[in-house]
Every structure is written in C-alpha cells, then in structure tokens.
Structure 1
Amino acid sequence: MPSQLPIVAVVGATATGKSDLGIALALALGGEIVNADASQFYRGMDIGTAKLTVEERRGVPHHLLDVLDVRDEANVAAYQRDARETIAQIRSRGTVPILVGGSGLYVRAALDDLRIPPTDPGTRARWEARLGEAGAAALHAQLVAADPAAAQQIPATNGRRIVRALEVIELTGEPFSATLPKREFLEPAVMLGLRIDRPVLHERIGMRIERMWRAGFLDEVRELDRHGLREGRTASRAIGYAQALRQLDGELAEGEAKAETATLTRKFARRQESWFGPDERIRWLSYDAPDLLDRALAAVRTADTPSGA
C-alpha cells in the first residue's frame, strides 16, 4: 500500500535523468513529486533548469515548483518548513512523497535531522565584504582557527560556504560544525542515486546546453530580465542564466556563453557527486540500466528504511 511505503528521494548529479525516474516511480507507486532543485523554485526559470513541462509531468502532481519570484532569495529554512508540510499533506492523502532533485542541502533539510542556524543580513554582508577584500583563502584560515571541524569539510575555494560558517559562528557563539546535518532520517525514507560515468555525463551536459539555446533560452532570460532577474541574489547567479545575461549585454559571444555554462555545470556536477557520494544510505543505480524502474521499485519495496547511516 502506498501509505506503508517510505518517502522516496531520487538524487544525483545534474543531467542524469532524475526527473524522468521520479515520474516513472510516481506513476508506478501512486506518488506525488516534491521538488528539491533550488533553481526550479523560480517562476519562469524553465528552459535553463530543465524543468519538466506540464505535458512531461504526465498528470503527476508536482509541489514546490514555481514558488519564488526571480528577485527572491532561496532559503533552506523556509524550504525545510514547506517541504515537510508538503510531505505530511501527501501522506495524509495516502500517496507516496517522491523528492526529486540534486540540491543536496535541500534534500537533507527535507529528510534529515537538520537544524537550520540563524542568519542576519547585516552580518552576512560584512563577511561578504571581507570575502571580496581578502579572498576565500584568507577567510578559510579564519575558519580553521575558529572551527577546525567545519574548515575540514568546507573547501578553501568555496567562499559562499565559508562566509555562511563564519556568520553562524558570530551569531550563535557556537561552532558551525555543531549545526552540520546528521545522516538520520526523521521518518522512513529511501534514497535512490543515479550513477553515470563522467565522460558520458559531460557529453549529456553539452547536449543539454545546446538544446537550451535552441529552445529559446535567450528569450526566456530576456523576459526574466524584464521581471527583475538581475536584482535576484540567487536567481541571477544560476549557472546558464548569468552567462546568458552576459551574452545579452555583449560581454560574451554565444559560443563563449555556452562554453562557460558547460564548464560551470561540469564543476557543479562534481560538487554534487562529492556531496552525495559519502552518504552510505543511497542505493546507487546505473542511469541507463534497461530495468532501471524495476530496480528502483525493488529498492523502495524492500527498503529496511534505517533512520541513519
């Protein structure tokens, strides 16, 4: 019975086919999709995020898509609240929540025992100003001194995460590492990961980017620009959208915009692999297995759904 099945999460790197597997699972299990791709929160950001069209959703209800304006900032704490409420509502209807997306922190915010630390715009702005002045390596050295455990988990090149860690330490007086998520499900869940060889993934990324531009991606970005895309702290930095804006401004030729988008997407995919790879709860499946759906269904139906790893 659907009500007796665990929450299902389909995770992995970009361009591995998560959305298609999510739809197939929803149709087979009587499920509803809960989006866990941060870029797909935004209304109008469709082509550049590979958001499924209404027709491609095949009648499967989708939640937490198109919930933000491009000027809004995505917020993990708000997502955690909304995702858990949505999952509870799906459960109340006797159907299966199927979380789909590659934004690792958002997946864990929905499923795991994760405490979201506070934030303060002024404090964040001061640390971001220091980042601009001193660079990521210098701030990472400060993080090493303040919280060695957090510094070990955050790359010295990831300025945004370093700033967040230092912000939390300043606001709480506690180590940022104390707030890092535990791999413990709040309720029974099974995570399915799609695995793909890197050369094949790079080829798929390149093909996706070519399709984006052919499908009218620049027109999409022009329209979003009229609705305040450049004012959006998160949306304007999304891979592809930032490059398209620069192409529209004449800073990049089309080939350069595509190439930069491909390079950044490949790097993003490697970060996703690094995020999901160590999680021993994930049941990895080959993205192109001829019996992929059967394997996924078997994993869901036979899951012992441990609370953690």
Structure 2
Amino acid sequence: MQAGAVRTTDTPPVIAVVGPTGSGKSDLAVSLALELDGEVINADSMQFYRGMDIGTAKITVAERRGVPHHLLDILDVTEEASVSEFQQQARAVIADIHARGKRAILAGGSGLYVRAALDVLEFPGTDPAIRRRLEAELEAGGAAPLRARLEVVDPVSAGRLGDARRIIRALEVFELTGRPFSSFMPTREYVQPAVQIGLDVDRGQLRERLARRVHTMVESGLLEEVRTLDAAGLRLGRTAPRALGYAQFLRVLDGESDAAQAAEATIVATRQFARRQLTWFRADPRIHWLDWQDPDLVAKAAARTVPG
C-alpha cells in the first residue's frame, strides 16, 4: 500500500461510474449523488482544463443540479495533466467527502485515472534532464535504438509500448529508479473499499450518438472555442492540444482542413476512443455492468453501492 493510503471499513465504498465516452456517466453520477447524498469527482483528464467545455462535453452548472463537483477546471491548457498528481488530489477529495458524511462518486472514462484513484498503484518520479537527453537521442537517431535499449532492460515494456513517447518514459523510469517500468504496473487491488458501476452500451446506438454529439458540438461553437484556446496557448501544452476535437479543429485554423472534414475526423477518432475505453474497462472483472438505457438504472446502480 502506498504511503498515506488508509484501509478502513468505517466509511462506505467509493463509487466509480465508468464506461465509454457518450454513455451517460455524468448524468448517472449526478443522479446517484442526489439519491445517496454524494458529491462527484471528475476523472476525465480533458475536463481538468479551463475553457475546454464544448469539445469535452463538460457537464454544465445546470446539469449538475446542485451537486458539488470536484477537479473540474483545475488546469490551464498550457499545463500538463499528471495522473500521479490526480491520484493525490482525488484521494484527498475522497477523504474530505467521507469525513463530512457524504458519498464520494468518481465519474469519468480516463481508465488510468480511475485506477489511480481506486487501486494500489505506485507512480515513479520524473527527471527533466533525463527526459530531455532521451528526447534528443530520439530526434537524432529515431526510436529504434531506444527500443533496442528498452528490450535489454525491460523486455516486458518493450513488448507493450508502441509510441516513442512511452518508450522514453520507460527508459527514464529505469534510469531514475533502477527498476523496470513494467514493475510499476497496477494490480487490481482497491486501496480502500470501492464499487465500480459500468454502463453497458449498445455499440451501434453509441456510434450514432457519438456522431450526433460531435455535430452538436460544432453547432454549439467548437471551432470558436478552439480559436479562443489557441490564442490562450493551447498548442503550448503537452496534453490539451491532443484532445478529441481540439486536435482536429486546430487543423481548420491552420487551413489544412474545413469544419466538415474536422467534424468527420473527430467522429472517427471518438468512436475509436470509445472502443479502446470499452476494451480497458471490460478487462476489469470487478466492474458491475448495467444497461445504459434501463429505466431503473439509477435504482439498480444505487443498490450496488450498499456496503455488504
């Protein structure tokens, strides 16, 4: 167990509402909070960013229905989201909510962030100097030499990681800690009592819903939102400019695409992301799956959260 983590049976379990993008996680989390006297903690890494509202389908103040929401709008677009910092913040918020006799409800589709909040999971530190040196090596010689080095010191990670950014991170961790990056992989062990509710979707219906949602975002001013954020330094960030919709509509601003093409590219990318999310969450046997369109969804989800 990590330092600072406390196992206790004196408080009810943390609730996590998970599933693919567009499945209704935010709405269910609010309904559960109203039913169970709870508060919601955001676990969508792109909803950390101030001003990224339309393109992330960020829940509005009206849609929150008076339920307190935590860890929304906590970063500028120039800042980098950090799963290790989120872990500390989320656990502190959970402890505060429980200390006030409320129920803590985590909601979001960023799988690693959910696990960081819920599971026994250790994050190695970072070293900017090592990172810069490895990035310089990548620029000078490409990814192949770095991958070859990783295969020697951490063959498990070398077999799992595809992109250069993750290879650099794995080598950085090994140099910094002397341990292979793969040794830090999470185990499916809750750091405190928890229950996960997964929204089981009809994939065909979800595909259509995601397409409609992107078109609604465009009609609601996504391009102007991206233009405003671009002026605020969106491209300077490491995380925010890669967000779904934002990356595609930055190309419109650059004259490399038009709005219709950007919308279609966003739909394709969002559907691919939803498939990856489903694969991630389906791999966790602890999740209780409920039909996303069940008229008794809230009652059934609430019943799952009763301790014992």
Question: TM (normalized to structure 1)?
Answer: 0.90
Q: Give the drift of 1:49.
A: 0.4
Q: Residue 215 of structure 2 corresponds to which residue in structure 1?
A: 210
Provide the C-alpha distance between the structure 2 equivalents of 1:62 and 1:207, rounded to a whole number of angstroms. 26
Farther-moved stretch of structure 1 (237-246 vs 136-145): 136-145
Q: Structure 2 CA distance, aligned partners of 1:197 and 1:138?
A: 44
Q: Map of 1:270-309 to 2, 5 A cutoff?
A: 270-301=275-306, 303-304=307-308
Count of residues in correspondence between the two structures: 299
CA gap 1:208/1:178 in 2 versus in 1, 3 angstroms: same
The one-letter amino acid of 1:113's match is V
Do structure 1's residue 64 and structure 2's residue 50 form an aligned pair? Answer: no
Q: Equivalent residue for 1:244?
A: 249
Partner SS for 1:183: coil
Q: Which of the numbers 109, 115, 123 marks the counterpart of 1:108?
A: 115
User: Residue 41 of structure 1 is aligned with which of 48, 52, 65?
Assistant: 48
Return the match for 1:89 from 72, 89, 96.
96
Distance in 2 of aligned mates of 1:279 and 1:87: 22
**2:39 equivalent in structure 1:** 32
Deviations 1:118-151 (A, max 9, x none): 1122323344455566666775554343223334
* Partner residue, 1:307: none
Structure 2 residue runs of 5 or longer lacking an equivalent are: 1-9
For 2:276, the aligned partner's letter is: R
Query: Would you say 1:7 and 2:14 are equivalent positions?
Result: yes
**Could you give the per-residue CA deviations for residues 142-176 of structure 1, whole angstroms, max 9, x where no partner exists?**
43432233344x353x4433332222122211111
Greater shift in the superposed pair: 71-80 or 143-152: 143-152
Quote the residue 2:7 is aligned against: none
Deviation, structure 1 residue 205: 1.3
What's the secondary structure of 1:55's corresponding residue? helix
Distance in 1 between residues matched to 2:229 and 2:118, nearest whole Å = 32
Q: Where does residue 224 of structure 2 map in the other structure? A: 219
Amino acid at match of 1:110: A
Query: What residue in structure 1 maps to residue 233 of structure 2?
Result: 228
Shift of 1:238: 1.1
* Root mean square deviation of aligned Cα: 1.9
User: 2:300 corresponds to which letter in structure 1?
Assistant: R
SS of 1:9's partner is strand
Q: Which amino acid aligns with 2:150?
A: L
2:269 is equivalent to residue 264 of structure 1: yes
Deviation readout 1:12-53 (Å, 9 max, x if unpaired): 111111101101100100000001000000000000000011
Post-superposition Cα deviations, 1:279-299, rounded to whole Å, max 9, x if no partner, equal 111111121112111211111
